[in-house]
């Protein structure tokens, strides 16, 4: 054992009783990534002051990381002069005192603050699934009542998510409820090729009050963001997770403030958290996540009412207006006996203004069943289907800002379903579950017929079948399973998804196929491994490249541990494996457990080809930029109120 490690072990020995030391040594031998006291965290223990006083935990459990961005809203407000206003720098301290939202003992036992280097780090008690959710709070300055928010604030949230994307498993945005549906809709479009959960939440009563909904809402949002790879911008409120671009605020005086009239919730948090996986929208992409902050502000909402004058409509549609959501009656109707009004609409669309036809009704869709609806199509309006006005408006803002598209392409985009914001045409509906011969046979032998039971059978049987098909690269079998309505992104009993298996076997075409179906590169099996880890382990270079292109990355802990693995590969001169680790995004400068880098090890044992390779692939700066509080210097610019993060090279 190298000296520095020996020193660490010696200090551990001083702090621990002998039996516990045995445990830690045993874990070190296996480099267990599932030990609660993480190997990398153990490495840093000797300098953690609290470690001397608290017994570390060594039982197995996985940790997930969530970034909470606090933008303001009632959840963090207090009364001043009889009115509610956001209170700065109060939330973290208050949460720290709430045992359901922070486990101080665990934080101390695992040297949490020391490891993450931030006072804004908190940790939830152990979840039912044996998971710890560690969360950091990034508080905006100033905190805003959401009525004060603009598109610039949406851009700021988007950019903070983009910057921190690789360092976290999920994101929670604390936000006022008044305009939360607008922000959720806008973010859903701005976040392109999203692969991780982004969940907006807030409350109707401040979290500092005795009876409030803030605690439950925050807890539910954290539990979902940390435990389920739902690659959507969502809104969590009153025990329900909704698709963000489907919600609208319907009640100012109830905890049950939001409704998603045209789409059932993605998840319900009752005795158990149940995810409705069939409803989850997936990006179906092999492109990396990015946030588009270009938004066009020359858009507006116009609500029809009986007797509206043509002059009002004309004034509203004047330049610089470029996009309008016309809120029409019923299933998309407007008076067909008002040529003056229709003429103004037609003039505007002829001059290039995009006008979306959305209904004023809470539930239902725009159709052409009435003459009063058809006149709007003749006037050049685009049917908005069952989109909410909030979604239609932010979609217009997003689409109109696309510089590389002409007007027709923008109109086409507006009529397409981009992020699950509108229901797809039902003409091509998938096969009914009972159409599947396979399910029929099983259902018959088990004498069952009800839909719920059929679905339960399908959901229990198809993940292992899909994994078996993935193992032999059988796309046809996967197609057949898909037609049964099976979700090919779900994991088997070990949490292994078909993508894990295809990546392990190196079936490039199959990996491509699964990614196009929306399989997530962020799925972790019970050992904490992602498809990228599998592809690296089994040396499938092309698969590694494709997964990286899709946005797959090593976790912070994997990157920490990579140094030791690289040193061992360098010692044996294993160029093929070194190349794959480099392609997978490992930092070739990362030192191993004893502080030596791979190139030093290769040099010491005379593996000169490895030395040459490593020298070529080493870079002065850490290639993977974390938006992590550890790896970034935080500059709190008082004047602008903007917190900036600048990258600095990482090191042990």
Ligand X SMILES: NC(=O)C[C@H](N)C(=O)O
Name every residue whose Cβ is closer than 8 Å to that of residue 633 and which is 6 or more positions away in sequence. Answer: 645, 646, 648
Q: Measured from the CB of residue 145, what is the shortest distance to ligand X in angstroms?
A: 4
Q: Please, which residue, 244 or 485, has the CB nearer to ligand X?
A: 244
Q: Please, which residue, 176 or 491, has the CB nearer to ligand X?
A: 176
Rg (CA), the chain: 27
To the question of whether residue 121 is assigned a binding role by annotation, the answer is no
44 to 73: interface string for ligand X, x by CB under 6 A? -----------------------------x
- Decide if 177 is catalytic: yes
Q: Residue 195, interface with ligand X (CB under 6 A)?
A: no
To the question of whether residue 177 is assigned a binding role by annotation, the answer is yes
Q: What are phi and psi of 376, to 5 degrees?
A: -75, -35
Question: How crowded is residue 98: how many other Cβ atoms within 10 Å of its Cβ?
Answer: 13
| Contact pick of 109, 118, 177, 504 for ligand X (by CB under 6 A) | 177
Q: Within its chain, how far is the Cα of 578 from the centroid?
A: 30
Q: Please, which residue, 76 or 373, has the CB nearer to ligand X?
A: 76
| Contact pick of 32, 145, 528, 643 for ligand X (by CB under 6 A) | 145
Name every residue whose Cβ is closer than 8 Å to that of residue 397 and which is 6 or more positions away in sequence. Answer: 151, 186, 295, 296, 297, 299, 323
| Contact pick of 76, 155, 158, 176 for ligand X (by CB under 6 A) | 176
Q: Measured from the CB of residue 177, what is the shortest distance to ligand X in angstroms?
A: 4
| Contact pick of 169, 178, 232, 322 for ligand X (by CB under 6 A) | 178
Q: Which stretch binds ligand X (CB under 6 A): 139-147, 165-173, 529-537, 549-557?
A: 139-147
Q: Which one from 177, 201, 520, 564 is the annotated catalytic residue?
A: 177
Q: Residue 202, interface with ligand X (CB under 6 A)?
A: yes
Q: Residue 146, interface with ligand X (CB under 6 A)?
A: yes
Q: Residue 83, interface with ligand X (CB under 6 A)?
A: no
Residue 427's Cβ-count burial label (10 Å; 0-12, 13-18, 19+) is exposed
Residue matched to tokens 């961005």:
69
* Tokens matching residue 395: 């979609």
> Which of 75, 82, 77 minimizes the C-alpha distance to 101?
75
608-642 burial, b at 16+ Cβ within 10 Å, e below that, comes to: eebbebbeebbeeebebbbbbbebbeeeeeeeeee
Residue matched to tokens 């929306």:
518
Q: Which stretch binds ligand X (CB under 6 A): 173-181, 364-372, 541-549, 563-571?
A: 173-181
Alpha-carbon gap, residue 328 to 373, rounded angstroms: 9
To the question of whether residue 178 is assigned a binding role by annotation, the answer is yes
Contact 516, 286 (CB under 8 A): yes
Q: Residue 201, interface with ligand X (CB under 6 A)?
A: no
Q: Please, which residue, 146 or 388, has the CB nearer to ligand X?
A: 146
Residue with nearest beta carbon to ligand X: 176
Alpha-carbon gap, residue 515 to 524, rounded angstroms: 15
Q: Measured from the CB of residue 390, what is the shortest distance to ligand X in angstroms?
A: 14
**Which positions are catalytic?**
177
Q: Write out the binding residues.
A: 146, 177-178
- List, as residue ranges, the binding site for substrate: 146, 177-178
**Residues binding ligand X (CB under 6 A):** 73-74, 145-147, 176-178, 202, 204
């Amino acid at each position: 054992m190298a000296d520095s490690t020996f020193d660490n072990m010696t200090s551990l020995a001083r702090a621990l009783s002998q039996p516990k030391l045995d445990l830690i040594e045993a874990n070190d031998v296996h480099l267990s990534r599932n030990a609660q006291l993480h190997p990398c965290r153990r490495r840093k223990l000797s300098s953690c002051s609290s470690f001397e006083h608290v017994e570390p935990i060594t039982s197995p459990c996985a940790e997930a990381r969530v970034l909470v961005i606090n933008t303001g809203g009632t959840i963090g407000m207090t009364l001043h002069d009889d009115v509610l206003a956001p209170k700065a720098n109060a939330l973290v301290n208050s949460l720290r005192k709430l045992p359901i939202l922070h486990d101080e003992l665990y934080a101390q036992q695992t040297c949490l603050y020391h490891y993450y280097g931030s006072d804004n780090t908190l940790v939830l008690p152990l979840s039912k699934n044996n998971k710890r959710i560690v969360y950091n709070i990034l508080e905006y300055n100033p905190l805003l009542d959401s009525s004060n928010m603009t598109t610039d604030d949406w851009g700021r949230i988007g950019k903070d998510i983009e910057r921190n994307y690789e360092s976290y498993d999920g994101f929670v945005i604390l936000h006022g409820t008044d305009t939360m549906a607008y922000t959720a809709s806008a973010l859903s479009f701005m976040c392109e090729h999203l692969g991780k959960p982004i969940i907006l939440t807030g409350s109707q009563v401040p979290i500092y009050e005795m009876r409030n909904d803030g605690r439950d809402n925050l807890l539910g949002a954290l539990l979902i963001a940390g435990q389920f790879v739902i690659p959507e911008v969502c809104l969590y409120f009153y025990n329900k997770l909704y698709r963000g671009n489907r919600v609208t605020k319907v009640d100012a005086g109830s905890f049950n403030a939001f409704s998603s009239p045209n789409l059932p919730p993605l998840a319900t948090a009752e005795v158990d958290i149940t995810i409705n996986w069939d409803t989850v929208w997936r990006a179906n992409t092999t492109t990396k996540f990015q946030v588009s902050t270009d938004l066009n502000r020359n858009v507006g909402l116009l609500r029809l009412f009986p007797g509206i004058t043509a002059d009002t409509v004309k004034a509203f549609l004047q330049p610089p207006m470029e996009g309008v959501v016309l809120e029409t009656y019923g299933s998309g109707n407007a008076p067909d006996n008002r040529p003056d009004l229709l003429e103004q609409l037609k003039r505007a669309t002829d001059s290039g203004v995009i006008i979306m036809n959305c209904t004023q009704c809470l539930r239902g869709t725009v159709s052409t069943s009435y003459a009063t609806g058809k006149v709007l199509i003749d006037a050049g309006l685009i049917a908005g289907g069952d989109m909410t006005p909030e979604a239609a408006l932010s979609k217009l803002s997003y689409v109109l800002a696309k510089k590389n598209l002409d007007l027709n392409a923008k109109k086409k985009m507006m009529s397409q379903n981009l992020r699950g914001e509108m229901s797809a045409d039902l003409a091509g509906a998938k096969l009914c579950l009972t159409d599947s011969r396979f399910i029929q046979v099983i259902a018959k032998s088990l004498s069952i017929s009800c839909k719920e039971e059929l679905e339960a059978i399908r959901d229990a049987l198809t993940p292992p079948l899909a994994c078996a098909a993935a193992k032999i690269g059988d796309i046809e079998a996967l197609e057949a399973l898909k037609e049964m309505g099976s979700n090919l992104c779900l994991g088997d009993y070990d949490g292994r998804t078909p993508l894990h298996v295809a990546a392990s076997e190196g079936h490039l075409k199959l990996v491509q196929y699964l990614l196009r179906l929306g399989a997530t590169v962020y799925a972790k099996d019970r050992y904490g491994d992602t498809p990228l880890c599998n592809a690296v382990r089994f040396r499938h270079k092309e698969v590694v490249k494709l997964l990286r292109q899709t946005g797959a990355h090593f976790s912070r802990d994997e990157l920490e541990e990579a140094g030791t693995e690289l040193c061992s590969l360098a010692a044996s001169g294993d160029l093929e494996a070194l190349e794959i680790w480099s392609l997978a995004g490992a930092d070739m400068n990362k030192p191993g457990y004893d502080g030596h880098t791979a190139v030093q090890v290769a040099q010491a044992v005379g593996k000169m080809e490895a030395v040459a390779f490593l020298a070529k692939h080493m870079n002065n700066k850490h290639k993977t930029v974390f938006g992590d509080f550890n790896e970034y210097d935080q500059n709190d610019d008082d004047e602008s109120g903007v917190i900036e993060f600048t990258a600095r090279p990482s090191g042990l």
